[in-house]
């Protein structure tokens, strides 16, 4: 996190959250500053150390440091949740579709792993009982689609039109139209190329959570000191801070140019727009469409052909 972003967070908390406001104590002396409190909280998130580590460095005792962290997580969630911890809107989805099209896929959605990550880190050994399928059963990731709140998506793959966005997954997930797995034992150059591109793209997503864990050691350390509610707030805070850092630094390292899709004569094959109406009687039909294995097979075949046309140097 660079200094301007850190100071922005300090300023927001000191102006909006009473705990971080610099006030005089009963003796007329100023207490701890917002800078001290935020530094202590972020260092606990970043290094995963106990509260008494900062006694000499920041002049804070263990109980005060833990109180700083608790108020910091509450403040970050309160002030920044709506902007940095939300589901993708129309612009986000369109950008993801454009990025996917550049890479040979018309969709590369990264939201499900965020849901799964928040559930996997549970106390009392429960994390060992929750694999990806258990998490999927508990996940609200498809609720917006089933209830008609998700934006309408339309894209083409190998000249075939689809209206249901999908996720890249590993082989444990079921063959739904919304999940596309790699090919574990590819036979032939087309399958090999698809598997290579699929796994490369999915590793980028996995890498994002590796960065999250390396930035905030508290995420990967044992959670014996915290109850389930506090763990949830810590996870949300780390994801929000991570997203703030990514937004702050994105222009400096992004390697995919989607500007060609923004011109008037766009070659964009996808379109996202706001859903204006929804018939609640369609929920069962949408649920069946989400779990349609035949549509999954057709989409996967078309994706294999589309990737081969784009990167295999073969016209078909």
pLDDT of residue 127: 45
In the chain, where are the structural domains located?
3-84, 87-250+275-311
Residue with tokens 């739904």: 176
pLDDT of residue 121: 37
Burial class (CB in 10 A: 0-12, 13-18, 19+), 44: buried
pLDDT of residue 315: 46
Task: Collect all residues with Cβ–Cβ distance below 8 Å to 134 and sequence separation of at least 6.
Answer: none
Q: What is the pLDDT along the chain (316 residues), one digit of tens a residue?
A: 899 999 999 999 999 999 998 777 666 677 788 998 899 899 889 988 776 676 666 677 788 888 999 999 999 999 999 888 887 777 777 777 777 677 666 544 333 333 333 333 333 344 445 566 676 777 777 777 777 777 788 888 888 888 887 888 888 888 998 888 999 889 899 999 999 988 888 887 778 788 888 889 888 877 777 788 888 899 999 999 998 998 888 766 555 555 555 554 455 666 666 666 666 667 888 888 888 999 999 999 999 998 888 887 654 4
d(C-alpha 4, C-alpha 269), whole Å? 39
Task: Collect all residues with Cβ–Cβ distance below 8 Å to 248 and sequence separation of at least 6.
Answer: 1, 2, 5
Helices (H), 216-254: 217-220, 228-253
208 token code pair? 């994002």
pLDDT of residue 83: 87
Nearest to 144 by CA among 93, 182, 208: 93
pTM given for the model: 0.70
pLDDT of residue 54: 64
Taking a C-beta distance cutoff of 8 angstroms, is the pair 176, 292 a contact?
A: yes
For the chain, where are the E strands, in sequence order? 152-157, 160-162, 167-169, 179-181, 270-273
Nearest to 212 by CA among 120, 123, 299: 120
pLDDT of residue 114: 35
Helix, strand, or coil (residue 180): strand
């Amino acid at each position: 996190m660079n200094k301007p972003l850190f100071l922005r967070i300090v300023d927001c908390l000191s102006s909006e959250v009473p705990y971080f406001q610099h006030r005089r104590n009963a003796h007329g002396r100023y207490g701890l500053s917002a800078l001290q409190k935020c530094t202590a909280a972020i260092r606990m998130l970043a290094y995963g150390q106990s509260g008494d580590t900062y006694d000499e460095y920041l002049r804070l005792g263990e109980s005060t440091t833990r109180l700083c962290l608790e108020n910091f997580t509450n403040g970050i969630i309160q002030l920044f949740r709506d902007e940095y911890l939300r589901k993708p809107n129309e612009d986000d989805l369109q950008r993801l579709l454009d990025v996917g099209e550049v890479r040979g896929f018309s969709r590369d959605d990264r939201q499900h792993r965020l849901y799964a990550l928040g559930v996997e880190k549970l106390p009392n050994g429960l994390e060992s009982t929750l694999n990806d399928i258990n998490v999927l059963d508990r996940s609200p990731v498809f609720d917006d689609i089933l209830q008609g709140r998700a934006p309408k998506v339309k894209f083409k793959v190998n000249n075939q039109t689809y209206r249901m966005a999908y996720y890249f997954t590993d082989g444990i997930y079921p063959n739904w139209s919304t999940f596309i797995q790699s090919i574990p034992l590819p036979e032939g150059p087309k399958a090999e190329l698809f598997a290579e591109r699929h796994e490369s793209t999915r590793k980028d997503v996995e890498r994002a959570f590796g960065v999250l864990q390396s930035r905030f050691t508290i995420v990967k350390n044992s959670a014996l000191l915290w109850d389930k509610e506090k763990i949830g707030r810590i996870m949300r805070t780390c994801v929000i801070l991570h997203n703030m850092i990514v937004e702050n630094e994105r222009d400096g390292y992004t390697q995919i140019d989607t500007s060609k899709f923004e011109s008037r004569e766009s070659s964009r094959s996808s379109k996202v727009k706001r859903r204006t109406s929804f018939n609640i009687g369609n929920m069962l039909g949408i649920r069946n469409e989400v779990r349609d294995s035949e549509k999954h097979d057709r989409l996967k075949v078309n994706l294999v052909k589309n990737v081969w046309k784009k990167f295999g140097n073969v016209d078909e």
